[in-house]
Structure 1
């Protein structure tokens, strides 16, 4: 399978990758659409004419963002709905309330490098939020995605997936020492593996699924990262939020990637294999088909117990 490339790159913005695209009549859901790159992802989709639902924890913040997007795009089909990704009941409620087809699902929300935190089920919170919540949401919306005929599911991963494979023997850090970055990295690997497996399972439904690294963007996502660590990032080449949302929007809506599925992108290109010691590229374990199938089965089992 040859590497897929596009005319866009590191500095491209969400508006640039979607320029000229008409999404009228298409419906999108963006999780975490009230902050960070989620806002700009939602804005770009709405600006192209899509109906956009911001799936958020803080609905008051969501309403403020929705109003601002409506004002800036002139598209008044921007809505807000509550979801708590770490709570399976909340995820089921969101999916259960959806009616009609869904053309675009952007699994964007996430938490990063937080102190050890467990859900009532005992699940490690980053894995529960970043992977299990989006896994359950995608499964719950499967019929709506299939009804669209040509739906796209986009999972926002991270270069932090290079920190850790999914440790199947101890996903929830019950027996090993907890490390916030290993937990985050594991959850981001899971985002890629989900795209790999869903691409296979849902191809017959016309659903394409891809994952991506948005780039380094200064947002509230870093709220759990120490000032000392962030100071060490000063030499990093940061993107604007408009640039950070570009790869999500490319995969969600651009005709350039029509039919592309089961892949991992960064800087609007399919990523190359990671070179040891480098911060970019994709780890081979994140694309491993056997791990992808195993993760799907484990995730289904976990969610079936609550």
Structure 2
């Protein structure tokens, strides 16, 4: 049953992932975190492991994943940390990951991504940010749906961004075939797609008890920003400081908190298709601010259209 009131929690933008998961018991639960070898991904995985979950780090570079797994085990005492290769821009890699998964899956955190990259394309001609941030995760989540359904009450977390405010999904030219490529518009579009995925997946998968929510993790310095200049980073920091105003960098531990909240908190029981920031459900964006959600990102008609376009794109690959 979906709740209608906006979700509020006792947590804030300063809360860490480990604080969110304190008192939560995930023993016997299985989780997958994409991009779990670095940044907020490794801190998300660490918090899930601390609560007792079996965690699989789905990563492009398995050696980095093994180092992260060893670190997580050392800091949590949980040695049920696995590493599996996954390149979200490569549909064969996604299909292999799905085929190799066996048994139920209780938590899927779609965390990996790329930000504001130079123009790049997959072999299919797909724009790389959309292919990685949305299509890869879409194929992964839909492929793992039987495992999520088997878990009973599974949760999927879509890590979006306040950058979704930069662009809706431009259905007439998703892959910049006709318009000039803009790295930030491409990134924003892909992050809007993450929010729309959560809306439509929650609707389609309700009978399976699968709940999907999206979030903005906050302004955090990680390898995600490898394509961005220091000057641009400072402008970002000033603009996207969270609900209490600009100028705030989160630590990776704080940046992972909202993901972990959506993945584990009993406060989110029955809640799906929503967008969160700073460990609270967000309201609509107000003009002149970089917080809250754009109405187009929670539009159910756009969400259904994106799902259909995504399925058609993957079938044609």
Shared fold (TM-score greater than 0.5)?
yes
Alpha-carbon offset, residue 234 of structure 1: 5.9
Aligned partners of 2:5 and 2:297: how far apart in 1? 17
Structure 1 stretches of 4+ with a deviation exceeding 4 A read: none
Residue number in structure 2 paired with 1:142: 145
Where in structure 2 are the equivalents of 1:83-98 lying within 5 Å? 83-98=86-101
Alignment size in residue pairs: 306
Q: What TM-score comes out, normalization by structure 2 length? A: 0.95
Shift of 1:109: 0.1
2-structure distance, mates of 1:49, 1:127: 33
What residue in structure 2 maps to residue 269 of structure 1? Answer: 280
**Equivalent residue, structure 2, for 1:9:** 12
Find the residue that maps to 1:183 and give its secondary structure: helix
Q: Match for residue 249 of structure 2?
A: 238
1:192 is aligned, of 195, 209, 214, to 195
Q: 2:306 aligns with which of 283, 287, 295?
A: 295
**Cα 1:233/1:158, change in 2 over 3 Å:** closer
Q: Higher mean Cα deviation, 40-49 or 231-240? A: 231-240
- Who is 1:156 aligned against? 159
Change (3 A) 1:133 1:234: closer
Task: State whether structure 2 residue 172 is matched by structure 1 residue 169.
Answer: yes
In the alignment, which residue of structure 2 is the partner of 1:23? 26
Backbone CA RMSD of aligned residues: 0.8
- Per-residue CA deviation, residues 201-222 of structure 1 (Å, 9 max, x unaligned), is 0010010000000000000111
Q: Distance in 1 between matches of 2:106 and 2:235?
A: 40
The 1-side partners of 2:56 and 2:235 are apart by 37
Native 8 Å contact 2:219 2:236 kept in 1:
no
Three-state SS of the structure 1 residue aligned to 2:157 is strand
Query: Could you report, residue by residue, the CA deviation over 1:102-130 in whole angstroms, capped at 9, with x for unpaired residues?
Result: 00000000000000000000000000000
1:231 Cα deviation from its structure 2 partner:
3.9
Q: Equivalents in 2 of 1:142, 1:216: separation in Å?
A: 31
Counterpart selection for 1:201 from 199, 204, 208 = 204
Q: Distance in 2 between matches of 1:138 and 1:108?
A: 12
How far apart are residue 233 of structure 1 and its match?
Answer: 4.5
Q: Which residue of 1 aligns with 2:242?
A: none
Structure 2 SS opposite 1:224? coil
The alpha-carbon deviation at position 276 of structure 1 amounts to 1.4
- 1:231 and 1:288, CA in 2 relative to 1: closer, same or farther beyond 3 A? closer
2:53 to 30, 34, 50: 50
Q: Match for residue 283 of structure 1?
A: 294
Find the counterpart in structure 2 of residue 112 from structure 1: 115
- Which whole-Å deviations, capped at 9, do the CAs of 1:256-278 have from their partners, x for residues lacking one? 11111110000011001001120
**Residues 200 and 140 of structure 1, relative CA distance in 2, 3 Å threshold:** same
Match of 2:261 among 250, 262, 266: 250
Change (3 A) 1:237 1:303: same
Structure 1, unaligned stretches of length 5 or more? Answer: none
Counterpart secondary structure, 1:155: strand
Q: Check 1:10–1:74 CA distance in 2 against 1; reply closer, same or farther (3 A cut).
A: same
